[in-house]
Structure 1
Amino acid sequence: MTSVQRSVLFSAADRYGNVVLFFIATAVLSRLLSPGEFGVYAFVSAVTAVIGASFQEFGGANYLIQKPELSRSDVRSAFTVTFGISAAIAVLLFLLAGPLSQLLALDGLKRGIEVSALNFLLFPFSGTISALLRRDMKFGALAVCRLIANATIAVVSIALGLAGFSYMAPIWGGVAGNIILAIMLLVRHRDFGALRPSLLEYREVVGFGLYSSGVSVMNTFYNLAPQLFIARILDFSSVGLYSRAINLTQVFDRLVAEVLNPVILPAIVARRQAGEDLKTVYLEAIELLSVAQWPLLLFVAIMARPIISVWLGETWLEVVPLVQLLCIANTALFAGCLSYPVLVAVGSVRNALISSLIALPPSLLVVLCASFFNVQAVAASALFTLPFQAAVAISFVGRHLGLRPMDLARALRKSSFVTAATALGVAGCAALTEAGILTSLAGLVSAFLAAALCWSLALLLTGHPLLRHFQFFAAGLARVAPKLRPSRSAL
């Protein structure tokens, strides 16, 4: 098993464990918090995320990962810049908490933002050490720390929710989890000298960060803008509904993209430095991503009603049409997680910012206009904005890699067949559920089994390249498993 495959395996254990925790916590909190209360929490998260993304990438993880030769002064300078900016963000949030609360006529919002600001004092420590572990492909240690931290978030959030803390429960839970993460990473790293203040390499850190943070803030603000617009123009109940729809729509991101994201940039940079053809790497990657993303999104779209009924309860069924619209729109982002890493790997982080500046402002305008109608219109706007963004990103990547439309069509041909076969199997179970022949839970289980069977058979029929990677993983695990068993002499 290669270092990249081991990294993906550890990253998968990390993300899937966190997905389980997320679904459990969400299912419980959905029964403890009303849509309006959850909407306030979602708004606080949106505000802090947008402000944080504006600055944190100045000395963030991507600078430390992409640098070919990393010195101690590079690490110290990146940490110092990140700490200084994070402290400024914390102060800024404290100052903005009152005005934002008055603007939206919601007194409790002030306290939520003030508490969330505490997270920014912890990020420089956890963010810097996490970046160094990712650079060295030490995803096992990172997975353990993240799982314990996220378990803390889930436990504290649920406990405080039961105690009547309302929307403050998940906010305090997030702070508790970030404290645990920072402590565990500091204990794991132990090299405290690398975190001493220094500005020796600040010019290079800030130079890379100007473009990287620009990309980060543009994308973060776009992702959270619908919730901000809905909160200002509609109401917090609509924010809660839209936020829940986004959570379910992002199931691919949680199950696949978030597994690969920590690995993609260091892996692509390493293959670039080894002299490999990035065009081939890119096409292979989108072939693998699309065969996982498309069937999963269509499964969620087709089975949205039983999923919502079982997971969140009958009171959240208004989310169903939002989920279906967003799932269909998100199929356009099959190469979304590759664009930024590829552009950074070819030394063109500036083009990553330019592509965001071209694609996102018009998309924001469409979302803003839609928010004056209703939350369904906001979800429907994604059918136009996401394909447009995908086309812009692929065109920029294509210029550097020499991609042609036929290259993409060939890479996606087998994935299209696998997706169609999977959707047919799921649609049959959905029809039985709608007819009342199967209960929501029985229909969901049947649809999952049908999807797994149809997806597997279609992979075999098409000879999809994903099968080869499954074989590599199986062979690697077979070689590792005997080493994990204690020998008889040790017993």
Structure 2
Amino acid sequence: MLNIKKKLAVSYLQRNATLVLQLVSSLILARLLSPAEIGIFAIGSVAVSFLHVLRDLGISGYIVQEKELSTERIRTAQGFMWITSSTLALVVFLAAVPFGHFYNEEGVTDVLRVLAVNTLLLPVGAITIGLMSRRMEFERLFVLNVSSAVVQAGASILLAALGYGFMSLAWGSLAGGLTTALIAAAFRDRDQPWIPSFSERKRVFAGCSRLSGSSILYELGLSGPELICGRSLGFEAVAFYGKAQGAAMLLLRALVDSIVPVAVSYYSHCSRSDISLKEPYLRALSCLSVVALPAFACLAVLAGPVIDLLYGDQWLAATVPLQIATSGAAMIALANVAGAVLVGSGRAGDNFALHAVFQPAKIVLALLAAQAGLIWIVIAVAAADIGISIASILRVNRIFNVSWSECFSAVSPSIGLAVIEGLISWAILSVGREQALGSATILVAAALIIITSWALALFAIKHALVADFIKRRA
């Protein structure tokens, strides 16, 4: 039996160490660079992020999920990776000038040219990383990802302090990509093939296409509204949008990034071993929701102090967008469990069908909302995220014969706890403002009270998240 708790602990440590590094660097860079400078880099990086999904073609997920992963299939995956990466690197480089003209900013062109080079580095370690995920070697992934994050953050901050402006972020990204490639090469198994092949192209392409479709659509839904915002409302607006979404995604990633890789690998293992996924799905939904829903409720209430502390008072225009974004992010957190079940159980086609409906709808809603301003774009994005989350959970419930009562029983304690913690946050914020306390003081007081009350509530209701601890104490 796999030691899932140990794997989760290592994955949690790795993901959150990376998030802390990114958060610290974001705090510093928000004070070294202006909103307009960050907006310029955001436009370039968002465009390249979407192309990176096309570059991957679902290959990383295929490596994890394939039941019979032979040497020839690994070689074929490697061949696909090199072809798509080199092609898209050339596309990005050639498109840099017209893209810069489209946004009337030469800086976008410079950013894209640097990021095009980074695209060439990605396939060096992609297969190795996929194999490590398949084997659940999260200790090695910890070293790789944390090292890359340290180098990227350090390079970006140093260059920004030296006056390189928005290009410091581009060069920092390149430094992080180079670090990832070098460490992945060092971790490469001796028997892992280097030479690409296409002998298993039909099998590999069929497996990848089911996974890549969902990723492409997801990235389209993630990147599209930001690009629309930048074109319609300007670089400062896209920077405020990015900071609001970034703060919500920071919490989302802290909650799910450490869980999803383990969950997909574990559900794939269960599927290959003909183990029922119903009980692990409900347990994961219960445990994640009791953390995610209260956390996002508190973030929504305390959005103003959070923005002020993280980025400074020049970014307070992102407060209301952040409050709106928390609703969509909270539901996406729960949908990650459903998505992991679908992908891990080999039902990537169902996941693709959901994204094929809701991600284009998100783009259409964002286009319409852009005429009304930033707030309405955020509302459109949140509405689409809520829609796809509900649809994902319903789909998994139908496949694995999970009743509404079972699903509601899993998440109902979380909903009640979210309301309670949200009210506690509101009371703390009201007292803090009445006493003219600073954002840091309010947030420290809120963290102490909220975490304590949340933990006490879990033990009071004997939630599954603390069941093992209660049994040991008994």
TM-score range, shorter chain: over 0.9
2:128–2:187: 8 Å Cα contact kept in structure 1?
Answer: no
1:16-27 equivalence runs, <5 A: 16-27=16-27
Aligned equivalents of 1:175, 1:201: Cα separation in 2: 32
Q: Could you tell me which amino acid in structure 1 is paired with residue 338 of structure 2?
A: S
Alignment of 1:312 with 2:311, yes or no, is yes
Aligned equivalents of 1:311, 1:137: Cα separation in 2: 34
Moved over 3 A (4+): 469-472
Per the alignment, residue 70 of structure 2 pairs with: 71
Provide the TM-score with structure 1 as the length reference. 0.92
Per the alignment, residue 218 of structure 2 pairs with: 219
Aligned equivalents of 1:402, 1:57: Cα separation in 2: 31
Structure 1 residue 383: Cα displacement: 4.2
Per the alignment, residue 43 of structure 1 pairs with: 43
Provide the TM-score with structure 2 as the length reference. 0.96
Q: Could you tell me which amino acid in structure 1 is paired with residue 47 of structure 2?
A: V
1:168-183 equivalence runs, <5 A: 168-183=167-182
Structure 1 residue 387: Cα displacement: 1.9
Q: Could you tell me which amino acid in structure 2 is paired with residue 5 of structure 1?
A: K
Per the alignment, residue 377 of structure 2 pairs with: 378
1:80-159 equivalence runs, <5 A: 80-159=79-158
Structure 1, residues 25-80: CA drift from partner, whole Å, max 9, x if none?
1011101111111111111111001112124124x211011112222222111111
Per the alignment, residue 28 of structure 1 pairs with: 28
Aligned equivalents of 2:257, 2:376: Cα separation in 1: 28
2:268–2:346: 8 Å Cα contact kept in structure 1?
Answer: no
Q: Could you tell me which amino acid in structure 1 is paired with residue 279 of structure 2?
A: T
Alignment of 1:411 with 2:410, yes or no, is yes
Aligned positions, number: 473
2:252–2:330: 8 Å Cα contact kept in structure 1?
Answer: no
Aligned equivalents of 1:127, 1:471: Cα separation in 2: 41
Residue aligned with 2:199, SS: coil
1:419–1:455: 8 Å Cα contact kept in structure 2?
Answer: no
Alignment of 1:235 with 2:240, yes or no, is no
Q: In the superposition, relative to structure 1, how do residues 70 and 309 fare at CA in structure 2: closer, same or farther (>3 Å)? A: same
Aligned equivalents of 2:194, 2:8: Cα separation in 1: 28
Structure 1, residues 394-432: CA drift from partner, whole Å, max 9, x if none?
232233112332222111112122222322322221111
Structure 1, residues 124-148: CA drift from partner, whole Å, max 9, x if none?
1222111111111110111012111
Aligned equivalents of 1:367, 1:144: Cα separation in 2: 39
More deviation, 34-43/49-58: 49-58
Per the alignment, residue 486 of structure 1 pairs with: none
The runs of 5 or more residues in structure 1 that have no matched partner are: 476-491
Q: Could you tell me which amino acid in structure 2 is paired with residue 432 of structure 1?
A: V
Structure 1, residues 70-116: CA drift from partner, whole Å, max 9, x if none?
22222111111111111111011111111111111111211111110
Structure 1 residue 341: Cα displacement: 2.6
1:425–1:454: 8 Å Cα contact kept in structure 2?
Answer: no
Per the alignment, residue 5 of structure 2 pairs with: 5
More deviation, 323-332/398-407: 398-407
1:320-339 equivalence runs, <5 A: 320-339=319-338
Aligned equivalents of 2:368, 2:198: Cα separation in 1: 45
The runs of 5 or more residues in structure 2 that have no matched partner are: none
1:358–1:392: 8 Å Cα contact kept in structure 2?
Answer: no
1:234–1:372: 8 Å Cα contact kept in structure 2?
Answer: no
1:359–1:392: 8 Å Cα contact kept in structure 2?
Answer: no
Aligned equivalents of 2:417, 2:214: Cα separation in 1: 33
Structure 1, residues 194-235: CA drift from partner, whole Å, max 9, x if none?
222111212111111222111111000101111100111110
Aligned equivalents of 2:372, 2:46: Cα separation in 1: 21
RMSD: 1.8
More deviation, 90-99/329-338: 329-338
Per the alignment, residue 195 of structure 2 pairs with: 196
Alignment of 1:362 with 2:361, yes or no, is yes
Q: Could you tell me which amino acid in structure 1 is paired with residue 438 of structure 2?
A: T
Q: In the superposition, relative to structure 1, how do residues 404 and 359 fare at CA in structure 2: closer, same or farther (>3 Å)? A: farther
Structure 1 residue 437: Cα displacement: 4.5
Structure 1 residue 192: Cα displacement: 6.7
Per the alignment, residue 421 of structure 2 pairs with: 422
1:391-470 equivalence runs, <5 A: 391-468=390-467
Aligned equivalents of 1:176, 1:44: Cα separation in 2: 17
2:255–2:333: 8 Å Cα contact kept in structure 1?
Answer: no
Residue aligned with 1:70, SS: coil
